[in-house]
Amino acid sequence: MRISVVQMNAGEDKAANLAAAERLVKAAVREDRPDLVVLPEVWTCMGGGETTKRAAAEVLGEEGEAWRLLRDLARGHRIWLHGGSLLERDPREEKLFNTTVVFDRDGREVARYRKIHLFDITAPDGREYRESATFGRGREIVVYEAEGLKVGCSICYDVRFGELYRRLADRGAELLVVPAAFTLHTGKDHWEVLLRARAIETQCYLAAAAQWGPHRAGNEERWSYGHSLVVDPWGLVVARASEGEGFATARIDRARIAQVRSRIPVHAHRVLPG
């Protein structure tokens, strides 16, 4: 299976973001012929205040513009499309959700994952991020199967919580997907280290599609780190996007997973004290 991770510089203009995603997915399909394409976190709306986010959010399904675009791209290009994450509005809930939606080659929705770990921190540059002010927390761990390959879902800040990835591996995941919008300040020190660590400890491939570059949040300009990449089960980076918009593609080799897991059988050796 060939997988492409798409890197975007999304902003507050949802229509422009949808057009950029469509252009980049089509370019990846045309140039690299992937089986599975992954978009970054919150690719439909990056930045802005709560009013902007709520205006961009969708009830996921036929009425959602971004949902329909993902469905149509998957079906039209005969690809699996892991839709990064959308801003989801649930009529039963007050808060929004940061949600992944996945489509198969026929344009059928096959998986949906709501981000579990919410980014409530003060960054090294003093800027505050309070994701929980707008978004509710997901509760379910999600693994789906794409033509025999088991894929585990996560989003951005989840990557700091190794126990989630251990649970995904326990459920049979062979590929871990991490759409993200890592900040520049945390990304330059932690992004690649964390991704490679999650791949090494689970002995899975890992695909991370990222936001890159500036966006506006109120009166502030904030930057996302980018550096979308694919890591193999030994922890080696096998594909990487340059700065700016674009994509990177790698081949997922299930024989490589089996080789790494037989070489160092951590799954069999794991002991949980207490």
Catalytic-role residue among 12, 41, 58, 88: 41
Catalytic-role residue among 12, 45, 58, 156: 156
**Active site (annotated) includes residue 45:** no
Sign of the C-alpha dihedral computed for residues 52, 54, 55 and 60 taken in this order: positive
Could you please report the per-residue DSSP string of the chain?
-EEEEEEB---S-HHHHHHHHHHHHHHHHHHH--SEEE--TTTT--SS-HHHHHHH-B-SSTT-HHHHHHHHHHHHHT-EEE---EEE--TT-SSBEEEEEEE-TTS-EEEEEE--S--EEE-TTS-EEEGGGTBPPP----EEEETTEEEEE--GGGGG-HHHHHHHHHTT-SEEE--B--BHHHIIIIIHHHHHHHHHHHT-EEEE-BBEEEEEETTEEEEEE---EEE-TTS-EEEE--SSSEEEEEE--HHHHHHHHHHS-HHHH-----
**Active site (annotated) includes residue 188:** no
Catalytic-role residue among 115, 174, 204, 245: 115
Place of tokens 């700065």: 243
**Active site (annotated) includes residue 115:** yes
Partners of 205 in beta bridges:
175
Per-residue CA distances from 60 to 99, 176, 249 (Å): 9, 23, 28
- How many CB atoms within 10 Å of residue 90? 15
- What is d(CA 218, CA 129) in angstroms, rounded to the nearest whole number? 12
Q: Which residues are catalytic?
A: 41, 115, 156
